[in-house]
Amino acid sequence: MRSYFSWLLLVLGLFCCGTAVAQTASTSDRLTKLEAQVAQAQSSADNSWMLVSSALVLMMTGPGLALFYGGLVRRKNVLSVMMQSFAMMAIITVMWAIVNYSLAFGEGTSFIGSLHHLFLRGVGLTPDPDYSSTLPLETFRVYQLMFAIIMTA
């Protein structure tokens, strides 16, 4: 009887240990999935906020600066000044995409960057750890473009 009881305890002990190991594996899988979801949510939130901020800066340039400068000139020149602001937005956007982003943020000297990102080569949806671990490089480029536009306008 005593050996039967010992075998029963041994089997129950192994069963409980196996369940604990299965729960630990299950828990670690759930923790890994949760960490991945948190990282994705953080990246999505960072990306959304940067794009909203970019839109706000663009609104400062388009209607804001155009109306401000339009109020400083005579009535007959208001449309011309407003169109100059909008034309500046178009010109700087094209120049930024072709060469200016690369010169501003490419690897080079401390004064000027290289032409590594010429025509936005290598600028995509992967984050660049030099600038941010969660933001795609394209979002960073758009955000910096808005400041380039308002600075030149």
Are 124 and 137 a contacting pair, CB within 8 Å? yes
Q: Is the pLDDT of residue 145 over 90?
A: yes
Model confidence pLDDT, tens digit, residues 20-67? 444 565 788 887 877 777 667 667 888 889 999 999 999 998 889 888
Domain positions in the chain are: 43-152
Q: How crowded is the C-beta side of 105, counted as CA atoms within 13 Å?
A: 23
Q: Is the pLDDT of residue 91 over 50?
A: yes
Q: How large is the average pLDDT for residues 71-83?
A: 92
Q: Is the pLDDT of residue 94 over 90?
A: yes
Q: Is the pLDDT of residue 8 over 60?
A: no
Q: Rounded CA gap, 119 and 121, in Å?
A: 6
Query: Which residues contact residue 57 at a Cβ distance below 8 angstroms, ignoring those fewer than 6 apart?
Result: 143, 146, 147, 149, 150
Query: Which residues contact residue 122 at a Cβ distance below 8 angstroms, ignoring those fewer than 6 apart?
Result: 116, 137
Are 106 and 95 a contacting pair, CB within 8 Å? no
Phi first, then psi, for residue 112 (nearest 5°) are: -145, 145
Q: How large is the average pLDDT for residues 129-149?
A: 88
Write down the residue that tokens 């999505």 correspond to: 44
Selected residue with higher pLDDT from 145 and 153: 145
For 89, the token pair is 């937005």
Q: What is residue 63's predicted lDDT score, i.e. its pLDDT?
A: 87
Model confidence pLDDT, tens digit, residues 98-131? 999 999 888 888 889 888 888 888 888 888 888 8
